[in-house]
């Protein structure tokens, strides 16, 4: 397996690992044959690297890309700014925050 | 107060608004006749080869969850039933009508837009399921098209779209609030207008028109309520971006009427995520 940036995707590469969306759902499952066009699309979804079948080109290990707790909180607070006084919105905020945190930790 | 830009009329007059394939109309007609056979419907769909092959891909995907291979449209009808197949055709056609055309504008990414739309459809379907509605498939379509007015605006009046986009960003408000401040029309109305032209079912039309202002006094409230709720929940799950980075406030009435207080949110989020995962097939067929 090798980890590559999405803009280095070539036609015919095979996914070694599932590609997950922003909240941990699977967008493409392992084994899918991908194309460079699909690679560009993945970039639009905020995905920067994927793992495909084949040998690692370089020996250096790339770091896992993961969302930290703080990043998640900041992002959500931005979207929810001004509405968390509303009890329903507060409830949604808390539930979604915990759900997403749990999801990112699962990976 | 600044004068609002009058753009409603020019949007209503656009003649190049995407149309749905003729096969939809034909299907509606055929389905009204109880004598119609699966073969006849299959034949009607297969006259549009490209559409038929998309329909087959969809019915064989995890989204419809049928084990085993469905190799012909007629077979699909026998197994899934007329109404499901019609919904598949409708969904594929709507998607087709817009997918290829148009480019996004800076900051407004069409891929994000479609992910938001698909996620909203998936969430609406999950909410329908969990609240015991018998309109799961229709709710999916309603969620899929709820923001379609934005695409029309973006394609036909890109400058105005950009204006609304920037205004929303600068003032940190929702896209429809920005439209309200600048124009005489909103994406809900534009989308509703399209849904009318397309002859979509009335409940679907209303869900598009009123998803930001659901009112129990209006007809077909439940579907509108479900789409309103879905749009908000998926933004919390980061499937935002229909042109703003904010989340609308949930209507108290919707929350109450759907009985959301008795639904464990984490479980619903999980169900929504599963559904989105399956529905991402739509991004792969076009
Ligand atoms: Fe909207
Ligand atoms: Fe939306």
Domain ranges (residues) in chain B = 2-284
Predicted confidence (pLDDT) per residue in B6-44, tens digit: 998 888 877 777 788 888 888 888 888 888 898 998 999
Q: B277 and A25: CB-CB below 8 Å?
A: yes
Task: Please say whether the beta carbons of B151 and B94 come within 8 A.
Answer: no
> Which whole-number Å values give the CA distances from A97 to A74, A75, A90, B11, B227, in the listed order?
11, 10, 10, 40, 21
| Residue A2: per-residue pLDDT | 79
Task: Please say whether the beta carbons of A25 and B273 come within 8 A.
Answer: yes
**Which residues lie closer than 8 Å to A99 by C-beta, 6 or more apart?**
A23, B237, B265, B266, B269, B270
| Reported confidence tier of residue B2, pLDDT bands at 50, 70, 90 | low
Give CA–CA dist B130/B248, Å, rounded.
Answer: 22
- Tell me, yes or no, whether A51 and A1 share the same domain: yes
Any idea of the CA torsion for B280, B165, B124, A21, to the nearest 10 degrees?
Answer: 30
B6, burial (CB in 10 Å: exposed 0-12, middle 13-18, buried 19+):
exposed
Please list the alpha-helical segments (H only) found in B102-259. 110-130, 136-145, 148-156, 158-171, 175-182, 187-197, 202-210, 221-236, 252-257
Predicted confidence (pLDDT) per residue in B60-92, tens digit: 998 888 878 899 999 999 888 888 898 889 888
Residue B152 CA, ligand 2 centroid: distance in Å: 14
Shortest CA gap A60–chain B (Å): 32
Give CA–CA dist B158/A17, Å, rounded.
Answer: 39
Considering the domain B2-284, what is its CATH architecture?
Answer: Orthogonal Bundle (1.10)
- Tell me, yes or no, whether A43 and A78 share the same domain: no
Q: B270 and A89: CB-CB below 8 Å?
A: no
Q: Which residue of B has its CA nearest to A93?
A: B236
- Tell me, yes or no, whether A48 and A26 share the same domain: yes
Q: B239 and A22: CB-CB below 8 Å?
A: yes
**Which residues lie closer than 8 Å to A54 by C-beta, 6 or more apart?**
A1, A2, A13
- pTM of the model as a whole: 0.80
**Among the ranges B50-64, B209-223, B235-249, which has the highest mean pLDDT value?**
B209-223
Question: Number of structural domains, chain A?
Answer: 2
- The two three-digit tokens of residue B52, written as one number: 């038929």
With respect to residue A60, please indicate whether it lies within any of the assigned structural domains.
no
List residues in chain A touching B: CB distance below 8 A: 21-28, 41, 44-45, 75-76, 78-83, 86, 88-89, 91-93, 95-96, 98-100, 103
| Residue B102: per-residue pLDDT | 56
With respect to residue A61, please indicate whether it lies within any of the assigned structural domains.
no
**pLDDT above 80 for B241:** no
**Which residues lie closer than 8 Å to B166 by C-beta, 6 or more apart?**
none
**pLDDT above 70 for A106:** yes
- The share of chain A scoring above pLDDT 90, in percent, equals 29
Predicted confidence (pLDDT) per residue in B194-216, tens digit: 999 888 899 999 999 999 999 99
Residues of B in contact with A44 (CB under 8 A): 109, 111-112
- Tell me, yes or no, whether A71 and A35 share the same domain: no
Q: Which of B273, B281, B285 to mutate to probe the A interface, most A CBs <10 Å?
A: B273
- Tell me, yes or no, whether A47 and A70 share the same domain: no
Give CA–CA dist A7/B81, Å, rounded.
Answer: 42
Which H or E run includes B272? helix B265-279
Max CA-CA distance within chain A?
52
Residues of A in contact with B112 (CB under 8 A): 44-45
Query: What are the residues whose beta carbon lies below 5 Å from ligand 2 (ion)?
Result: B 147, 231, 242
Closest CA to A23 of B266, B99, B107: B266
Give CA–CA dist B201/B70, Å, rounded.
Answer: 28
| Residue A49: per-residue pLDDT | 79
Three-class SS of residue B4?
Answer: coil
**pLDDT above 70 for A8:** yes
ipTM above 0.85, yes or no: yes
- Tell me, yes or no, whether A2 and A49 share the same domain: yes
Shortest CA gap B90–chain A (Å): 23
The ligand whose atoms approach the alpha carbon of B177 most closely is 1
With respect to residue A24, please indicate whether it lies within any of the assigned structural domains.
yes
Please list the alpha-helical segments (H only) found in B21-109. 22-32, 38-46, 49-59, 73-80, 82-99
Shortest CA gap A9–chain B (Å): 17
With respect to residue A89, please indicate whether it lies within any of the assigned structural domains.
yes
Shortest CA gap B59–chain A (Å): 18
- The two three-digit tokens of residue B13, written as one number: 């007059």
Give CA–CA dist A86/B228, Å, rounded.
Answer: 16
Residue B240 CA, ligand 2 centroid: distance in Å: 7
Calculate helix-pair angle for B73-80, B49-59, nearest 10 degrees: 40
Exposure on the CB side of residue B14, measured as CA atoms within 13 A: 18
| Residue A33: per-residue pLDDT | 76
Domain range holding A12? 1-55
| Reported confidence tier of residue A62, pLDDT bands at 50, 70, 90 | very low
């Amino acid at each position: 397996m090798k980890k590559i940036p999405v803009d280095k995707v070539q036609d015919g590469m095979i996914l070694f690992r599932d590609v997950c969306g922003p909240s941990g759902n699977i967008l493409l499952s392992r084994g899918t044959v991908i194309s460079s066009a699909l690679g560009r699309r993945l970039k639009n979804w905020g995905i920067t690297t994927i793992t495909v079948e084949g040998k690692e080109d370089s020996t250096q290990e790339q770091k896992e890309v993961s969302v930290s707790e703080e990043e998640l909180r900041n992002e959500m607070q931005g979207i929810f700014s001004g509405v968390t006084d509303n009890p329903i919105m507060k409830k949604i905020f808390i539930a979604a925050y915990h759900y997403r945190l749990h999801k990112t930790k699962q990976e | 107060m600044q004068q609002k830009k009058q753009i409603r009329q020019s949007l209503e007059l656009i003649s190049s608004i995407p149309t749905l394939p003729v096969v939809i109309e034909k299907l509606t007609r055929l389905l009204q006749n109880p004598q119609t056979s699966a073969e006849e419907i299959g034949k009607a769909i297969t006259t549009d080869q490209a559409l038929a092959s998309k329909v087959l891909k969809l019915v064989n995907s995890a989204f419809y969850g049928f084990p085993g291979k469905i190799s012909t449209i007629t077979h699909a009808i026998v197994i899934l039933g007329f109404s499901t197949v019609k919904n598949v055709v409708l969904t594929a056609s709507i998607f087709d009508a817009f997918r290829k055309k148009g480019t996004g504008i800076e900051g407004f990414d069409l891929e994000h837009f479609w992910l938001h739309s698909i996620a909203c459809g998936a969430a609406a379907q999950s909410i329908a399921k969990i609240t015991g509605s018998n309109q799961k498939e229709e709710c999916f379509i309603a969620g899929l098209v709820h923001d379609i007015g934005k695409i029309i605006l973006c394609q036909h009046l890109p400058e105005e779209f950009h204006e609304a986009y920037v205004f929303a960003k600068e003032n940190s408000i929702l896209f429809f609030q920005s439209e309200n401040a600048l124009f005489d029309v909103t994406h809900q109305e534009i989308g509703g207008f399209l849904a009318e032209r397309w002859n979509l079912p009335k409940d679907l039309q209303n869900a598009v028109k009123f998803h930001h202002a659901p009112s129990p006094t209006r007809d077909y409230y439940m579907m509108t309520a479900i789409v309103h709720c879905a749009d908000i929940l998926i933004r919390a799950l980061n499937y935002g971006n229909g042109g703003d980075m904010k989340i609308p406030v949930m209507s108290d009435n919707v929350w109450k009427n759907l009985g959301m207080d008795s639904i464990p949110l984490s479980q619903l989020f999980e169900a929504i995520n599963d559904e989105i995962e399956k529905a991402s097939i739509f991004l792969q067929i076009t």
